Structure 1
């Protein structure tokens, strides 16, 4: 009799497991996510913070039912590839890739596995080979894009500098997102009477020379979300300050650190949006391969009055009231 009861109980448990998907990612009590971040700078840090917040809002909380394996690649592509392979060997439940080089490395490493990849801070997923033209994933990978509002940025620069003719951009030649964004700048610059002067670098050590050269040729510099260049932002700002020209940022952390203004993105919110997408996949509500990548809705105006005063630039009066967020000091972390 006892054997019959035990067999019945085991049958019931197995049936429940079949119904709830027991043993699959969608019903696990605990998850492990490998987070790989390309470089140390404010916007990517905010993405990571927002990602964890978004997961927590969906009931997946670090230290409770979530274990995080975190690696910063220090802006090195080889480290990105090695980290992605290491996460695969550990059989994590998901990889969160922050910035384009990490997303590409994670996609390549997981191609023959069932590990989903969720990315964030990827400016152009299509150009990076992570999505099709219609936004659908190319595999078990999806996430959020931080595509810059280039037209809005150009309009703002024209408001601040009505007499300016040239805009300088420094970018990393190996970052697909930077190359596609520069193409967009060049396509739209003429609408506002600007010429784009760009300079490519291959490593952070080259930024100082490129910044000095560009600053001597242009009326201002605008930053992209280029990971290598943003990591050397203070070098760019130093050269621009010597030339007495403003640097415009692409997001709030660059403005805090000394850029004059930006029509930029709020990266914590972008990270939250990514976290909520990740929660859907972990809970089994959708597969990464079924979710189109998402973009944040609208850019916001960020202003640093101290940075403008440093070079003797007077900002439009309405920026004091129209800015989503403004700063009266330069904060370098």
Structure 2
């Protein structure tokens, strides 16, 4: 045997004996602290399923993680987060849920009504809790009972629109307007609920609602052209199909000098004139706190009624107002949560 090989063997034997003398198993290099950290990092695994790609839903996801962190659950420390986006496709939404179930997640966060419906449909058989957010009408979506109590291991937060406040704001901004157009997807129950509420309240403010139903994204260009010929302004909902095409709608409306009102801050950032809207980061935080209670075993999803975010604030875009030749009322701008002076970047 060569001298160099003998030296290597003796060194290996010495290392093994040293490890045994110190109480460590031969070949163990991981420290107790590192092992503990690894175990801590895998304490909980959650799946975040988002139905579509747009600002308000992105803000929900951001807020959800912040809410969990505030309750001591942080990604990379004691939380593993899986994230997938359905890109507004129902079939993909179901696949995402099945993927999370196969990976045995401890909880699924479903963002937007179609995603929440897909998540609950799949997860209830596996007894995995679902926490939803950005669901306008949980009862109409069969995700809660009419009294707000859960239908199973599912709960969350609603982004119910402040319809009366929105109509009051539109009347202040456009004192002579008569017809408000609303584009919406007939496949989204959240939009059907919002349309019904707008139609019931519109007369109190001297408005008529003109509906623009669509069945798919491909229908939106023609539907937008048609409805813009009949109305004084458009009012955008949180309809996932329509919001995904909002830049196209804004461009068409701008060419006809017709204002478009949004329903939350991200829509105002990208070109809607104004909104009495919700803060979706706050909505997400509220949801994250609920999810943390379920994950930590403090309660079950089936023991928590869904919650509704109550605060709505004015958001305005002075750049858009200037382009349309509209003066936003001072009482609104003075009380605004945010005013924007740009469109694409949403610069304050």
Q: With the length of structure 1 as denominator, give the TM-score of the two structures.
A: 0.90
Q: Which moved more, 1:287-296 or 1:197-206?
A: 197-206
Partner of 1:328: 341
Candidates 225, 231, 242, aligned match of 2:255: 242
Task: Give 1 or 2 for the bigger CA radius of gyration.
Answer: 2
Residue 106, structure 1, aligned to residue 119, structure 2 = yes
Report the CA distance between 1:331 and its aligned residue.
2.2
Report the CA distance between 1:49 and its aligned residue.
0.2
Residue 68, structure 1, aligned to residue 81, structure 2 = yes
Candidates 205, 209, 221, aligned match of 1:208: 221
1:325 & 1:304 partners in 2: Cα distance?
A: 9
2:139 & 2:280 partners in 1: Cα distance?
A: 20
Question: How do 1:215-230 and structure 2 match up within 5 A?
Answer: 215-230=228-243
CA contact (8 A) 2:67 2:286 kept: yes
Residue 195, structure 1, aligned to residue 208, structure 2 = yes
Residue 123, structure 1, aligned to residue 136, structure 2 = yes
Q: SS at the partner of 2:126?
A: coil
CA contact (8 A) 2:63 2:283 kept: yes
Partner of 1:167: 180
Q: Show structure 1 runs of 5+ residues with no match.
A: 1-26
CA contact (8 A) 2:41 2:76 kept: no
Partner of 1:44: 57
- Relative to structure 1, the CA distance from residue 28 to residue 332 in structure 2 (aligned partners, 3 Å threshold; closer, same or farther) is closer
Partner of 2:169: 156
Candidates 262, 268, 271, aligned match of 2:281: 268
Partner of 1:302: 315
**Which consecutive segments of 4 or more residues in structure 1 shift more than 3 A?**
none
Residue 53, structure 1, aligned to residue 66, structure 2 = yes
Q: Which moved more, 1:281-290 or 1:80-89?
A: 80-89
Deviations 1:116-170 (A, max 9, x none): 0000000000000000010001110000000000010000000001110000000
Q: With the length of structure 2 as denominator, give the TM-score of the two structures.
A: 0.86
Q: SS at the partner of 1:270?
A: helix
Question: How do 1:129-140 and structure 2 match up within 5 A?
Answer: 129-140=142-153
Deviations 1:234-283 (A, max 9, x none): 11101111111100000000001100100000000000000000000000
Report the CA distance between 1:206 and its aligned residue.
1.4
- Relative to structure 1, the CA distance from residue 110 to residue 130 in structure 2 (aligned partners, 3 Å threshold; closer, same or farther) is same
Report the CA distance between 1:320 and its aligned residue.
2.6
Report the CA distance between 1:28 and its aligned residue.
10
1:154 & 1:184 partners in 2: Cα distance?
A: 11
2:126 & 2:333 partners in 1: Cα distance?
A: 51
Partner of 1:181: 194
Partner of 1:80: 93
Q: Show structure 2 runs of 5+ residues with no match.
A: 1-39
RMSD: 1.3
Equivalent pairs counted in the alignment come to 307
